Structure 1
């Protein structure tokens, strides 16, 4: 297989572009972006193509834009696969609830067999706390189709209920995957007939994230646990201490149900 620099050269030659053409086009991008780092000088382009010099991020972006190449694919030519980002981060996952910021604007194509969102909640992954996921992750394999049927995935976010999060158990089991509609942040005060159709919300607070039933009392938001969970309600000043991320509109549970790590009195 050709070296990355040679592949970039081939892409340039297919378009009939000279070094000078590439430099001038990159200058236009630099002007649009108001950043001179996007410029690809003649000498740098020669080094990239002929001496194996790895282009800096801004210059690589310009070359992909000029040559009509997929940025993620070109990164793979250089041995950096954006698709591996989440899987490589697994060993670094903190125990506390946290947001996954991966892929709100995904880089390049995601090969998922027709579904835009690959997910993997690896059995070996120590996600002990509720996790906020955005757009895609790679630890469970494919995202359950029932969560995205008839939906535009770009309009939703995802949360992983931590293995130590028993707040809504048994309605929501630890390890569950939640589909979040971030456009629906208004806490409902009525309109449900049972616990199964009572709205659930994903909350962000100073300690992390929480999936809960919610009620409002003036400027106070009360996060209410499932009565069988043994947890106690949490009270927040709203909006100073809490943010409603969105409404839970879908749930997928793990097959290997976690055991409770502690018994509450």
Structure 2
């Protein structure tokens, strides 16, 4: 386990996880979701995404890249004790706040001075609103080409145990396990940012099947249980390859 997410198979947790069923627990969480969506809709990576947006012409002061990877990196970069203490959108708040501080949009002192003040909406530029709404309607696709896979359906693959970075899409419990390719997605897909563990540039994505015995060993529960994971090609190796 390299980062404090994907807890499958992790032993020693003090108690069962309490999964919150409500989408938003408090009203402010809706606002955080909206801020994230606006940042996604104004991210400068949209100029090269599909479809290509005229993002350089949008009159916004936000000129950075913000994707789901950015949000996840912020959450995973939290102190592990805080990560497990805070709720879902509290993690979002921490990651987004740190991003704005790190990139010079606001200072910690400015945030502290505004804490507790009532919030009110201010008039904005309609061109900015139009861009965000257009993004909500059309989204952006990470697909860049038809798939060029190294592996075929039916191949046995070993999952790499890559060095930890600031962010990963590889579940900790799959590292160094052997599975079978059951599907190859139709295109090569990028991740918009380079995570440091092999993903970022466009590459094939596979669905890999794992047996409970392979993942959990003698602790596997009996029955016809099978786990499927969607994995970037960078995380796959030939099963016979020795690490």
TM-based fold match above 0.5: no
- The TM-score bracket by the shorter chain reads under 0.3
Bigger-Rg structure (1/2)? 1
TM-score under structure 1 normalisation?
Answer: 0.21
Relative to its length, the structure with more strand (as a share) is 1
Greater RCO, CA 8 A, separation 6+: 2
Length-normalised TM-score, structure 2: 0.22
Greater helix share, 1 or 2?
2
